[in-house]
Amino acid sequence: MILEGKKAIWNDYQKEIADDKYYYVRSCVRQNFFPGSETAFLKIMREELKKDVYEHPCHTTCTGIGYHGDIVPVETTMTVVARQFAIMTEAGYENLLPSCITSFGLYTEILDTWHHFPEVEEKVRRQLRKATGREFRKPKNLAHASDVIYKFRKEIASKAKYKLVNKNTGEPLKVVDHIGCHYAKMFPSKGIGGAEYPYVLAGMVEEWGGNVIDYPERRHCCGFGFRQYLVQANRGFSVACSKEKFESMKPFKPDMIITNCPGCPMFLDRWQYVINEMEGKRYGQNEEGIPVFTYEEVAGLVLGYDPWELGLQMHQTDCEPVLDKIGIDYSPEDKYNLKIIPSYSESRSLINV
């Protein structure tokens, strides 16, 4: 692999990311899948980076799953999204910051559609006005939450308590970065590093001390791909997709996987358990699984947050092997002890309206 070639591509795909005053929209599913991640994101943004991040309780689904599942018509989707924009406009914000990759992809797709077909935008404006009486301005800046963590990766590194380094060997951890399909595959220019060699997570990993693995099935879907999983009859295909990736990455002996999509960590994490149950196979070292993390969880770990405060006990593939390699101080007996951690209680008033 020729690193210089990759660097040239990374330089080709950079984008503007707002510096402050974000309107944050949560994911529909992440709070069930990995409930600590969005909480950790807000804590990092507000408490570590001192950024203004605003969210509104009237924000709804973007309909992305229904849209990609052919359940919700595109005009309905656009009108729902227009309503999100209207709430953002009313709150006085211009920088839209979605937590979900599919929402990010959908917002990007809709803004691009309106750019090419202004008459569609006008129609949606009429529909929104008729249905809700609301008006909206389009976002001045649209960045996925992982873009923002990428933007501030050096600041996070400067505050880091831990590095993605094996404390016993001093070697960088070998990290698989898995990018959500809707991040840049539809609009490569909207993703850091583009679609083929995305840099958004690789940049974080590098900055925080790890090494990214380039393995053959790097681009392959995690297995969520809505029709694979949401259609029950296709779920075997979903597991097969994940397995394809695990088989491909295993020879590279990864220490961990980092993801930036709601579904990817869920499926890469849960299906490892399922494959082990079905076939008795594990893909990590020492007959263990490969721990799977969201980028917020990794940022939180690097910053020294308590693993159980980050919600790592919700992972089905145990994350302790990585915690031990890094040398993170944690209490094994507190893993399933749901006592209220002081810093967690402070973060409970996150909704600011």
Partner 1 sequence: MSKHVIVIGGGVAGLEVAGQLSKVGIEVSLIEKESKTGGHLNNWYKLFPDRRNSSEVKEYLNGITANNGINLMTDTTIEKFNRSRSCFSITTNGGKELIADAIVVATGFDLFKSARKEEYGYGIYDNVITSADLEEMFRKGEIVLTDGSVPESIGIIHCVGSRDEKVGNYYCSKLCCVTAVKQAIELREHLPESKVFCYYMDMRMGGAFYEELYREAQEKWGVNFIRGKVSEASETIEKKLMVKVEDTLAGRPLKMNLDMLVLMAGMEMSAGGEKVAGMSGLKTGENRFFAAADNHFGSNKSNIEGIFYAGTCTAPMNITETISHARAAFTEVMEWLRNGKR
Residue 215 or 237: the one with the smaller Cβ distance to partner 1 is: 215
> Cβ(102)–Cβ(262) under 8 Å?
yes
Stretch that binds partner 1, among 4-12, 50-58, 176-184, 340-348 (CB under 8 A): 4-12
Residue 19 or 214: the one with the smaller Cβ distance to partner 1 is: 214
Q: Considering just the CA atoms, what is the radius of gyration of the chain in Å?
A: 20
Q: Is 341 in the site for partner 1 (CB under 8 A)?
A: no
* Of 149, 176, 160, the residue nearest 264 (C-alpha): 176
Beta strands in the chain (DSSP E): 22-25, 53-54, 95-98, 141-142, 174-178, 211-212, 256-259, 292-294
Q: Is 1 in the site for partner 1 (CB under 8 A)?
A: yes
Which residues inside 181-240 make contact with partner 1, applying CB under 8 A?
Answer: 194-197, 214-219
Question: How many alpha carbons lie under 13 Å from residue 183 in its C-beta half-sphere?
Answer: 30
Residue 195 or 205: the one with the smaller Cβ distance to partner 1 is: 195
DSSP 138-164: --SEE--HHHHHHHTHHHHHHT-S--S
Which residues inside 242-281 make contact with partner 1, applying CB under 8 A?
Answer: 251-252
Residue 215 or 330: the one with the smaller Cβ distance to partner 1 is: 215
> Cβ(162)–Cβ(327) under 8 Å?
yes
Stretch that binds partner 1, among 2-10, 18-26, 144-152, 280-288 (CB under 8 A): 2-10
3-state SS class at 104: helix
Number of residues interacting with partner 1: please give it, by CB under 8 A: 19
CB of 5 to partner 1, least distance (A): 4
CB of 12 to partner 1, least distance (A): 9
Order of strands, sheet of 256-259, starting from the edge strand that comes earlier in the sequence: 211-212, 174-178, 256-259, 292-294
CB of 124 to partner 1, least distance (A): 28
> Cβ(182)–Cβ(101) under 8 Å?
yes
Residue 154 or 253: the one with the smaller Cβ distance to partner 1 is: 253
Q: Is 15 in the site for partner 1 (CB under 8 A)?
A: no
Residue 200 or 266: the one with the smaller Cβ distance to partner 1 is: 200
Residue 251 or 332: the one with the smaller Cβ distance to partner 1 is: 251
Q: For residues 228 and 73, give the distance between their C-alpha atoms in angstroms, rounded to a whole number.
A: 20
CB of 70 to partner 1, least distance (A): 23
Residues that bind partner 1 (CB under 8 A): 1-2, 4-6, 8-9, 194-197, 214-219, 251-252
